[in-house]
Amino acid sequence: MTEWLAAAARGLADQGIPSSRLEAEVLLSHAMNVDRVWLAAHPEAATPAYADKLLVRRLRHEPLAYLTGWREFYGRRFSVQPGVLIPRQETETLVAAALELAGDETVLDLGTGSGCLAVTLALERPGWRITASDVSPLALDIARKNARALGAEVEFVLSDRFAGLAERAWDLVVCNPPYVASGANLDLEISRHEPPEALYSGPSGYEFYELLAKEAAPHLTATGRLTVEAGDGMASGIADLFRSNRWKVERMVPDLGGTARALVLRPR
């Protein structure tokens, strides 16, 4: 097993995959259904053939989260599979922005994907009433499973943006929209494997924000807010776009790296 880990780490590093030793350990622990502590304590254990199969797939840049079937978000494991966007750490900034609100809130997670935002908010604020929507039946199925597995009470609705949500209004709408420009150069594991409809917005990357600026206001209560995630370097452009559509930018929230990652917006 020790030799397999060393060889796997070298192979992953040669493919430009960062944290190659850690990834090799994660793949092997998943293949053996043990944790990494057990691996360290049993270096003499035999390596199963399934580990080789997983390694081959990872060397082809299949995302680690799809191979193991989960990704951690806000300290919890969320199930993921191909066809559902993998949660990112930077999206936790949206959670932080939402949790700064006080009182009993009604919340819509628009385009919920794996359900990581909706489920996290439901668990962190049990008094809030959470609705999660997505245009993808597969994503909604995974999100429901995550809610059940983690014990979160969330309402799920199949909807293309606001089309399936009638005339309902919420105190807060959170959204991690597709914001990648169609010509952007992404890592292979993203461009080859993650759902394009959750990544690409259009030629500029701002198209979904433009739709939100035009469509979201009627779905907010009188004091309601919209909170969106921003791509790298996009926050100022997003703020200008919303201001030009009669929205007030209440604040921009930085992620752990200092990048403006979430915008809190309110219609004028």
CATH number for position 188: 3.40.50.150
Q: Is residue 68 part of a domain?
A: no
Banded pLDDT at 137 (limits 50, 70, 90): very high
117 in the same domain as 27: no
- Residue range of the domain that includes 40: 2-60
Residue 114, C-beta contacts closer than 8 angstroms, at least 6 positions apart: 71, 73, 78, 79, 80, 84, 85, 86, 87, 139, 142, 143, 146
Q: What is the pLDDT of residue 91?
A: 97
Q: State both tokens at 223.
A: 């004091």
Q: What is the pLDDT of residue 125?
A: 96
Banded pLDDT at 104 (limits 50, 70, 90): confident
- pLDDT (tens digit per residue) in 4-46: 999 999 999 999 999 999 999 999 999 999 999 999 999 989 9
Q: Is residue 187 part of a domain?
A: yes
Q: What is the pLDDT of residue 251?
A: 95
CA distances from 122 to 60, 89, 213, 246, 257 (A): 36, 18, 26, 30, 26
205 in the same domain as 179: yes
Q: Is residue 106 part of a domain?
A: yes
| H or E, element range at 118 | helix 116-124
Number of domains in the chain: 2
What whole-number distance in Å separates Cα of residue 144 and Cα of residue 140? 6
Q: In percent, how much of the chain has pLDDT > 70?
A: 100
260 in the same domain as 238: yes
What whole-number distance in Å separates Cα of residue 177 and Cα of residue 216? 13
Examine the fold and report which residue of 19, 35, 60 is the final residue of a domain before the chain moves on. Answer: 60
Q: What is the pLDDT of residue 95?
A: 97
